[in-house]
Amino acid sequence: MVGSANLNIMMKAARRAGRALAKDFREVENLQVSMKGAGDFVSRADLNAEKIIKEDLMGARPTYGWLAEEGGAEEGQDPTRRWIVDPLDGTTNFLHGLPHWAVSIALEHKGQIVSGVVYDPNKDELFFAEKGTGAWMNEGRLRVSGRTKMIESVFSTGLPFGGRPDLPDTLKELGRVLPGCAGVRRWGSAALDLTYVAAGRYDGFWERRLNAWDIAAGLIILREAGGLAEPMDPNGNIVEDGTIVCANEALFAPLAKLVRG
Ligand code: 2AM
Ligand code: CA
């Protein structure tokens, strides 16, 4: 697929940051002996990846706004467009030497996500989409799964970490979903969770308490692959609220019903 100039800038930035992160990831294992050392090293790797992405994106489009996990928000001269960036989604995996993390870059125009790129350097999988032109992974077109039966379906979610207060609700939710499906996974990168639903690897995904940068790029990839997505509160907004439930067309309603209780 021939993408727009903006998509090409995003893909180039994602690959450049991904290469830098992959190099740092190989060092992480050696640092595990000193937990503090590993944590500081990962923070530096994360910041360095964000710097690379900012150089590429803001260098090419200096008037756009900026919202990123590490660097915060900056209004651009052009108030209608903004980059939404997570340089390293799946930081806990990265820190633990688990090869499941990604770079996530989205472009928002007038409040709508219009393009998204998620790059997993561990598998060299570049997921991308633009509004109206479908979703892709490397050279191939993406499509959500064709499963229709809950009992045959695999879903993904995020579980509360570090003492977050929503554990009781989460356990109730799992109690409703688990008995009727083939399994629930918790892989720790919301950006990759969304692209995996887009690729038909899982049949659906839900999570609360996410940030705009975790979801923005994956969301357009999912939708362009034919997936349905809503915030937990049907009257809310996915990117603003940081909640999402998504699946293929057949499984969306039954999954959303169980998750929402
Ligand atoms: P992050 O790696 O960029 O922080 C998974 O539940 C999502 O929650 C990820 O997209 C992850 O984004 C975010 N998250 C933040 N802190 C986390 C933690 N300690 N453990 C797992 N996920 C975390
Ligand atoms: Ca993230």
pLDDT > 90 fraction of the chain, expressed in percent and rounded? 89
- Tell me which ligand sits closest to the C-alpha of residue 193: 1
Taking all residues of the chain, what is their mean pLDDT, rounded to a whole number?
95
pTM: 0.96
Percent of the chain scoring above 70 in pLDDT: 97
Number of neighbours of residue 93 by Cβ within 10 angstroms: 20
Residue 40 has what pLDDT?
87
pLDDT confidence bin for 218, thresholds 50/70/90: very high
Dump pLDDT digits (tens) for 21-66.
Answer: 999 999 887 776 566 678 888 899 999 999 999 999 999 999 999 9
Residue range 154-198, pLDDT digits in tens = 999 999 988 888 899 999 999 999 999 999 999 999 999 999 999
Instruction: State residue 164's pLDDT score.
Output: 86
pLDDT of residue 33: 59
Average pLDDT over residues 236-252: 97
Between the CA of 245 and the centroid of ligand 2 the distance, in Å, is 17
CA distances from residue 109 to 58, 61, 70, 71, 190 in whole angstroms, order as listed: 15, 13, 22, 20, 22
Testing ligand 1's pocket by substitution, the residue of 96, 214, 219 carrying the most ligand atoms inside 8 A of its CB is 214
**Pair of tokens at residue 229:** 């997505």
Pocket test for ligand 1, best of 159, 189, 211, 219 (most atoms within 8 A of CB): 189
For residue 16, pLDDT over 80 is answered with yes
* Closest-CA residue to 171 (of 155, 179, 159): 159
Distance (Å) from CA 261 to ligand 1 centroid: 24
> What is the model's pLDDT at position 37?
74
